[in-house]
A and B are shown apart, each in its own frame.
Chain A
Amino acid sequence: MSVSLDSPEQLPEAYRSTGMRSRALRTLRRDPGALLGASVITFLVVIALAAPIVAPYPAQGRGEADVPARDLAPSWEHLFGTDHLGRDVLSRVIFGGRPALGVAFAVVILAVLIGVPLGMVAGYRGGWLDEALMRFTDLFLAFPPLLLAMVISATLGASLFHAGLALAISWWPWYARLARTVTQSLKHEPFIDAARVFGVREPVILARHVLRNATTPILVQATIDAGTVILAVGALAFLGLAAQPPTADWGLMVAEGRTTVVTEWWISTFPGLAIFAAVLGFNLLGDALRDVLDPKTGTR
Chain B
Amino acid sequence: MLHFLRRRLLASLLTLFGITTITFALARVVPSDPAVVYIGPLARPAEIARVTKELGLDRPLYEQYVSYLGNLFQGDWGTSLATKQPVLGGIAARLPATLELILLAMTLAVAVGIPLGVFAAYRKGHLPDAGARVGSVVGISMPVFWLGLLLQVLFAEWLQLLPAIGRLSLETEVLDPITKITGFYLIDSLVTGDWAGFRDAASHLVLPTITLAAYPAALITRMTRAAMLDVLGQDYVRTARTFGLSERLVLWRLALRNAMPTTLTVSGLSLAYLVTGSFFVEIVFNWPGIGQYSTSALLNLDYPAIMGITLLGATVFLVINLAVDLLQAKLDPRVRLQ
Q: Are A135 and B11 in contact (CB under 8 A)?
A: yes
Interface majority SS (helix, strand, loop, mixed), chain B: helix
CA distance A138 to B18 in the complex (A): 10
Q: Are B298 and A3 in contact (CB under 8 A)?
A: no
**Cβ of B140 and Cβ of A276 under 8 Å apart?**
no
- The reply to whether B27 and A235 contact each other, CB–CB distance below 8 Å, is no
Query: How far, in Å, is B71 (CB) from chain A's closest CB?
Result: 20
Contact (Cβ within 8 A) A139 B18: yes
- B137 adjacent to A280 (CB under 8 Å): yes
A197 at the interface (CB under 8 A from B): no
Contact A154 B141 (CB under 8 A): no
Interface residue SS majority, chain A: helix
Complex Cα spacing A142 to B335, Å: 22
Q: Which residues of B contact A300 (CB under 8 A)?
A: 229
User: Residues of A contacting B269 with CB < 8 Å?
Assistant: 1, 3-4
B149 touches A276 (CB 8 A): no
A136 to chain B minimum Cβ distance, whole angstroms, is 9
B153 and A241 within 8 A (CB): no
Interface of chain A residues 233 through 259 with chain B (CB within 8 A): 234-235, 238-241, 251, 254, 258
**Contact present for A299 and B141 (CB under 8 Å):** no
- Stretch from B61-69, B84-92, B271-279 that touches the partner: B271-279
Question: Which of B15, B141, B262, B316 is within 8 Å of A283, CB to CB?
Answer: B141
Chain B residues with CB under 8 A of A151:
23, 26-27, 298, 306, 310
**Taking the complex as formed, is A265 at the interface, i.e. its CB lies under 8 A from any CB of chain B?**
yes
Stretch at the interface among B33-41, B47-55, B197-205, B219-227: B219-227
Q: For residue A116, which residues in chain B have a CB less than 8 angstroms away from its CB? A: none
Chain B hits for A154, CB < 8 A: 298-299, 301, 306
Which residues of the other chain, B, contact A138 by a CB distance below 8 angstroms?
A: 11, 15
Give the residues in chain A near B335, CB-CB below 8 Å. Answer: 7
Q: Tell me if A46 counts as interface (CB < 8 A to partner B).
A: no
Q: How far is the CA of A17 from the CA of B57 in the complex (A)?
A: 59
Q: Which of A1, A143, A254, A280 lies in contact with B146, CB distance below 8 A?
A: A254
Instruction: Scan residues 1-44 of chain A and give those whose CB is less than 8 A from a CB of chain B.
Output: 1, 3-4, 7, 9
Q: How far is the CB of B141 from chain A (nearest CB, A)?
A: 4
A149 to B281 CA separation, bound complex (whole angstroms): 18
B15 neighbours in A (Cβ, 8 Å): 135, 138-139, 142
Contact A254 B313 (CB under 8 A): no
Closest approach, in angstroms, between the C-beta of B80 and any C-beta of chain A? 15
Determine if A142 and B153 form an interchain contact, defined as CB atoms under 8 angstroms apart.
Answer: no
Q: Is the CB of A268 within 8 A of B149?
A: yes
Known pairs A151-B306, A154-B301; A142 contacts B149 (CB<8 A): no
28 chain-A/chain-B pairs, Cβ below 8 angstroms? A3-B265, A3-B266, A139-B18, A142-B15, A142-B19, A142-B318, A144-B276, A147-B313, A150-B298, A151-B310, A155-B29, A155-B306, A157-B30, A227-B141, A234-B143, A235-B280, A238-B143, A238-B280, A239-B298, A254-B145, A258-B149, A262-B157, A276-B142, A279-B142, A283-B141, A297-B226, A299-B222, A299-B229
